[in-house]
Amino acid sequence: MAEPARLRVCALYPDLMNIYADRGNLLMLERRCRWRGIGFELTAAGLGAPVDPGAHDLFYLGGGQDRDQRLCALDLVETKRDALHAAAARGALVLGVCGGYQLLGHRYALGDEEIPGIGLVDLETARSDGPRLIGNVAIEVQLDGGERRVLAGFENHAGRTHLGAGEAPLGRVLRGHGNTGSSGAEGVRRDGVIGTYLHGPLLPKNAWFADWLIRRATGAGELEPLDDRLEDAAHAEARRAAGA
């Protein structure tokens, strides 16, 4: 008999990398699983904790202030990098938001200082002397050749993220700044590794994307539809705020 579907999530530094209450993304995944009878297991991995690459379907890293990001980056490189590479190689999802997204790349440069990343994707970020890129944002996303959909959220970052030539963005900026403020690209996606600047938090404003992650991470086929009137209203409001 097939095992009942379950989503096993590993939250990396949930206390430190939680700017804009990004842990709301985890709550969203949990509720949408439980409402459908899909099991949900959450493990936190903080500073110094090793992670088991085979024990989780989705690794999640939220946003953080430069100070907390620095602390987590050093630990990430030292105690978790190899496991995250192994997890991504076996098809687990890795989702990074804002500061977490930046750490998926090679480095985050702040003037003379360099915060190391784990190099899961070919990108680098540099803090600019220019204005912070702040505001509501909407991007158009097409996942696996499917329907074009909109992700809406809020961004606030000093870093400008440049993708290597072989990398694809998560989406195309409709409104807002995205990776650099001028490239028209937002986020990154390489197979199961996804990074984005969208807070909001991301998933409560974009229930369709939460469901895409659940389907992909659990291998569940079609998901039972839910009463999404509130979620749809949150999405519509986020799009309206961004002007998209």
Catalytic residues: 98, 199
Q: Which of 47, 71, 143, 158 binds ligand GLN (CB under 6 A)?
A: 158
Stretch that binds ligand GLN, among 77-85, 153-161, 202-210, 227-235 (CB under 6 A): 153-161
Closest Cα to residue 29, out of 220, 244, 238?
220
Report in angstroms how near the CB of residue 16 gets to ligand GLN at its nearest: 11
Please state, in angstroms and rounded to a whole number, the distance separating the CA atoms of residues 226 and 63. Answer: 28
State the nearest-atom distance from the C-beta of 161 to ligand GLN, in Å. Answer: 9
User: Binding segment for ligand GLN among 44-52, 63-71, 73-81, 113-121 (CB under 6 A)?
Assistant: 63-71
Distance CA 17, CA 34 (A): 25
Residues 6+ away with beta carbon under 8 Å from 107? 114, 115, 116, 117, 124, 125
- Which of 5, 7, 19, 93 is close enough to bind ligand GLN by CB under 6 A? 19
Q: Does 66 bind ligand GLN (CB under 6 A)?
A: yes
d(CA 149, CA 126): 29
- DSSP of 122-180, one letter per residue? SEEEEE-SS--EEEEEEEEEE-TT--EEEEEEEEEESEEEEE-TT-B-SEEEEES-TTT
Please tell me the count of residues contacting ligand GLN according to CB under 6 A. Answer: 12
156 near ligand GLN (CB under 6 A): yes
Residue with Cβ nearer ligand GLN (101 or 209): 101
Residue 69 is a binding residue for ligand GLN (CB under 6 A): yes
Interface residue with ligand GLN, options 14, 24, 53, 63 (CB under 6 A): 63
Does position 99 bind ligand GLN by CB under 6 A? Answer: yes
Q: Which of residues 76-95 bind ligand GLN (CB under 6 A)?
A: none
Single out the residue of 186, 159, 166, 193 nearest to residue 242, CA to CA.
186
| C-beta separation of 115 from 159 below 8 A | no
Strand duo 171-175 + 133-142: pairing: antiparallel
In whole angstroms, the minimum distance from the beta carbon of 34 to ligand GLN comes to: 28
Nearest residue to ligand GLN, scored by beta-carbon proximity = 63
Q: Which residues bind ligand GLN (CB under 6 A)?
A: 19, 63-66, 69, 98-99, 156-159
